[in-house]
Protein backbone atom coordinates (compact mmCIF):
# COMPACT_ATOMS: atom_id res chain seq x y z
CA UNK A 1 0.00 0.00 0.00
CA UNK A 2 1.47 3.35 -1.00
CA UNK A 3 0.35 6.32 1.01
CA UNK A 4 1.76 9.26 2.86
CA UNK A 5 1.18 7.29 6.07
CA UNK A 6 3.20 4.25 4.97
CA UNK A 7 5.60 3.35 7.72
CA UNK A 8 4.12 5.91 10.12
CA UNK A 9 1.98 4.65 12.97
CA UNK A 10 -1.34 6.40 13.42
CA UNK A 11 -3.18 7.08 16.63
CA UNK A 12 -6.77 5.94 17.04
CA UNK A 13 -8.18 9.38 16.19
CA UNK A 14 -6.20 9.64 12.96
CA UNK A 15 -7.17 6.13 11.87
CA UNK A 16 -10.82 6.71 12.71
CA UNK A 17 -10.81 10.00 10.78
CA UNK A 18 -9.16 8.38 7.78
CA UNK A 19 -12.12 6.01 7.41
CA UNK A 20 -14.85 8.30 8.73
CA UNK A 21 -15.40 6.16 11.82
CA UNK A 22 -15.90 6.98 15.46
CA UNK A 23 -13.04 5.89 17.71
CA UNK A 24 -15.39 3.70 19.74
CA UNK A 25 -15.95 1.58 16.61
CA UNK A 26 -12.24 0.77 16.43
CA UNK A 27 -12.18 -0.01 20.15
CA UNK A 28 -15.17 -2.33 19.71
CA UNK A 29 -13.48 -4.12 16.83
CA UNK A 30 -10.43 -4.52 19.03
CA UNK A 31 -12.49 -6.09 21.83
CA UNK A 32 -13.90 -8.51 19.24
CA UNK A 33 -10.38 -9.47 18.17
CA UNK A 34 -10.70 -7.96 14.69
CA UNK A 35 -7.91 -5.45 15.33
CA UNK A 36 -4.74 -5.85 17.37
CA UNK A 37 -2.96 -2.51 17.35
CA UNK A 38 0.52 -2.10 18.76
CA UNK A 39 0.92 0.07 21.86
CA UNK A 40 3.46 2.77 22.45
CA UNK A 41 5.36 3.25 25.73
CA UNK A 42 2.41 5.23 27.11
CA UNK A 43 -0.05 2.43 26.26
CA UNK A 44 -1.66 4.34 23.39
CA UNK A 45 -2.80 2.40 20.35
CA UNK A 46 -0.58 2.73 17.28
CA UNK A 47 -1.92 1.57 13.93
CA UNK A 48 0.39 0.66 11.06
CA UNK A 49 -0.11 -0.23 7.40
CA UNK A 50 -1.41 -3.73 8.23
CA UNK A 51 -4.03 -2.21 10.52
CA UNK A 52 -5.16 0.19 7.78
CA UNK A 53 -5.55 -2.76 5.43
CA UNK A 54 -7.49 -4.67 8.09
CA UNK A 55 -9.90 -1.76 8.67
CA UNK A 56 -10.44 -1.49 4.90
CA UNK A 57 -11.17 -5.25 4.76
CA UNK A 58 -13.65 -5.01 7.62
CA UNK A 59 -15.44 -2.12 5.94
CA UNK A 60 -15.59 -3.97 2.61
CA UNK A 61 -17.00 -7.07 4.28
CA UNK A 62 -19.54 -4.96 6.18
CA UNK A 63 -20.53 -3.23 2.95
CA UNK A 64 -21.16 -6.69 1.49
CA UNK A 65 -23.50 -7.38 4.40
CA UNK A 66 -21.34 -9.57 6.63
CA UNK A 67 -21.70 -9.27 10.37
CA UNK A 68 -18.76 -8.76 12.68
CA UNK A 69 -18.92 -12.34 14.00
CA UNK A 70 -18.68 -13.70 10.45
CA UNK A 71 -15.83 -11.32 9.66
CA UNK A 72 -14.09 -12.52 12.81
CA UNK A 73 -14.48 -16.11 11.61
CA UNK A 74 -12.81 -15.19 8.33
CA UNK A 75 -9.90 -13.57 10.18
CA UNK A 76 -9.47 -16.42 12.68
CA UNK A 77 -6.02 -17.98 12.59
CA UNK A 78 -7.61 -21.42 12.86
CA UNK A 79 -9.86 -21.12 9.81
CA UNK A 80 -8.58 -23.17 6.91
CA UNK A 81 -9.08 -22.48 3.22
CA UNK A 82 -12.06 -24.84 2.88
CA UNK A 83 -13.87 -23.31 5.87
CA UNK A 84 -13.15 -19.79 4.65
CA UNK A 85 -14.48 -20.67 1.20
CA UNK A 86 -17.63 -22.16 2.70
CA UNK A 87 -18.27 -18.96 4.66
CA UNK A 88 -17.64 -16.86 1.56
CA UNK A 89 -19.87 -19.09 -0.64
CA UNK A 90 -22.72 -18.73 1.86
CA UNK A 91 -22.28 -14.96 2.05
CA UNK A 92 -22.01 -14.66 -1.74
CA UNK A 93 -25.36 -16.45 -2.04
CA UNK A 94 -26.94 -14.05 0.43
CA UNK A 95 -25.47 -11.08 -1.39
CA UNK A 96 -26.72 -12.36 -4.78
CA UNK A 97 -30.21 -12.70 -3.30
CA UNK A 98 -30.06 -9.13 -1.93
CA UNK A 99 -28.84 -7.83 -5.28
CA UNK A 100 -31.68 -9.61 -7.09
CA UNK A 101 -34.21 -8.14 -4.65
CA UNK A 102 -32.72 -4.66 -5.07
CA UNK A 103 -32.82 -5.00 -8.86
CA UNK A 104 -36.49 -6.01 -8.68
CA UNK A 105 -37.17 -3.01 -6.45
CA UNK A 106 -35.39 -0.70 -8.87
CA UNK A 107 -37.38 -2.14 -11.76
CA UNK A 108 -40.61 -1.37 -9.91
CA UNK A 109 -39.51 2.17 -9.03
CA UNK A 110 -38.44 2.79 -12.61
CA UNK A 111 -41.79 1.53 -13.86
CA UNK A 112 -43.33 4.46 -11.99
CA UNK A 113 -40.79 6.88 -13.43
CA UNK A 114 -41.49 5.66 -16.95
CA UNK A 115 -45.27 5.80 -16.55
CA UNK A 116 -46.96 8.46 -18.66
CA UNK A 117 -50.37 7.97 -17.04
CA UNK A 118 -51.60 10.49 -14.49
CA UNK A 119 -52.78 7.53 -12.38
CA UNK A 120 -49.80 5.19 -12.06
CA UNK A 121 -52.03 2.26 -11.14
CA UNK A 122 -53.11 2.25 -14.82
CA UNK A 123 -49.58 1.71 -16.15
CA UNK A 124 -49.42 -1.69 -17.86
CA UNK A 125 -45.80 -2.40 -16.88
CA UNK A 126 -46.45 -1.53 -13.23
CA UNK A 127 -49.59 -3.66 -13.29
CA UNK A 128 -47.62 -6.60 -14.65
CA UNK A 129 -45.02 -6.29 -11.88
CA UNK A 130 -47.74 -6.08 -9.23
CA UNK A 131 -49.48 -9.16 -10.68
CA UNK A 132 -46.17 -11.08 -10.69
CA UNK A 133 -45.64 -10.21 -7.01
CA UNK A 134 -49.19 -11.34 -6.14
CA UNK A 135 -48.63 -14.63 -7.96
CA UNK A 136 -45.26 -15.20 -6.25
CA UNK A 137 -46.87 -15.06 -2.81
CA UNK A 138 -44.80 -15.24 0.38
CA UNK A 139 -41.83 -16.87 -1.37
CA UNK A 140 -40.99 -13.53 -3.02
CA UNK A 141 -40.32 -11.74 0.26
- pLDDT class for 2, splitting at 50, 70, 90? very low
Q: For residue 139, is pLDDT > 80? A: no
pTM: 0.78
Question: Phi-psi region for residue 137, left (φ > 0), alpha (ψ -120 to 50) or beta?
Answer: left
Q: Helix (H, G, I), strand (E, B), or coil: what is residue 1?
A: coil
Amino acid sequence: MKSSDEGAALGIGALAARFGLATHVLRHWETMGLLRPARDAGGRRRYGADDLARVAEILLYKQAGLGLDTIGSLFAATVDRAARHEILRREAGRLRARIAAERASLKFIESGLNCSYEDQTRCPNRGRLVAERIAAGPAAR
